[in-house]
Homo-oligomer: A and B are copies of this chain.
Amino acid sequence: MFEVNSNYGELQGSYLFSEIASRVAAYEQAHPDADIIRLGIGDVTEPLMPAVIEAIKKATDEMASRDTFRGYGPEQGYAFLRDAIAEHDYKALGADISADDIFVSDGAKCDTGNIQELLSPSSRVAVTDPVYPVYVDTNVMAGRAGSYNKEAGQYKQIVYLPCTAENGFDPALPKEKVDVVYLCSPNNPTGTALNQLQLQKWVDWARDTGALILFDAAYERFITQPDIPHTIYQCSGAETCAIEFRSFSKTAGFTGTRCAYTVVPKTVFGQDASGTKVSMHDLWLRRQTTKFNGVSYIVQCGAAAVYTPQGEAEVTEVIDRYLKNARIILDGLAKIGIKAYGGVNSPYVWLQTPNGMPSWDFFDLLLNQAQVVGTPGAGFGSAGEGYFRLTAFNTRENTERAVARLGNLSLT
| A residues with CB within 8 A of B | 1-6, 8-9, 11, 15, 41, 43-48, 50, 53, 56-57, 60-61, 63-66, 69-73, 106-107, 109-110, 113-114, 117-123, 133-134, 137-138, 141, 179-180, 210-212, 253, 255-258, 269-274, 277-278, 280, 283, 286-287, 289-299, 395
Contact = CB atoms under 8 A, between A and B. Distances in A.
How many copies of the chain does the oligomer comprise?
2
A271 B8 CA distance: 12
A354 to B, nearest CB: 30
B47 A5 contact: no
A391 B231 CA distance: 45
7 tightest CB-CB pairs across the interface, nearest first? A113-B291, A1-B210, A3-B120, A43-B71, A2-B179, A70-B256, A4-B270
Contacts of A273: 3, 6
A394 to B, nearest CB: 11
A325 to B, nearest CB: 14
A214 to B, nearest CB: 11
Contact of A53 (B8, B64, B293): B64
A257 B298 contact: yes
Contact of A211 (B2, B56, B71, B296): B2
Contacts of A5: 117-121, 283
Contacts of A118: 4-5, 8
B119 A3 contact: yes
Given A4-B280, A272-B4, A290-B141, A48 B71 contact: no
A57 B352 CA distance: 45
Residue from A1, A294, A297, A299 having most chain B Cβ neighbours under 10 A: A1
A296 B296 CA distance: 9
A264 B4 CA distance: 14
Contacts of A119: 2-5
B63 A272 contact: no
9 contacts: A1-B210, A2-B179, A3-B120, A4-B120, A6-B274, A8-B283, A8-B286, A72-B256, A134-B291
A375 to B, nearest CB: 14
Contacts of A11: 286
A5 B3 CA distance: 22
Given A3-B119, A4-B120, A179-B2, A289 B15 contact: yes
Contact of A123 (B3, B72, B289): B3
Contact of A257 (B9, B107, B297): B297
A85 B210 CA distance: 49
Contacts of A113: 290-292
B72 A255 contact: yes
A6 B273 CA distance: 6
A94 to B, nearest CB: 27
Nearest to A270: B4
B72 A46 contact: no
Nearest to A1: B210
A298 B45 CA distance: 17
B43 A64 contact: no
B63 A296 contact: no
B179 A257 contact: no
A141 B114 CA distance: 13
A71 to B, nearest CB: 4
Given A119-B2, A283-B8, A256 B66 contact: no
B4 A283 contact: yes
Nearest to A75: B109
Nearest to A122: B3
Given A5-B121, A256-B294, 18 more contacts: A2-B211, A3-B119, A3-B120, A3-B122, A3-B273, A5-B120, A8-B118, A46-B69, A47-B64, A48-B63, A53-B63, A66-B395, A106-B258, A110-B293, A137-B290, A257-B298, A296-B296, A299-B299
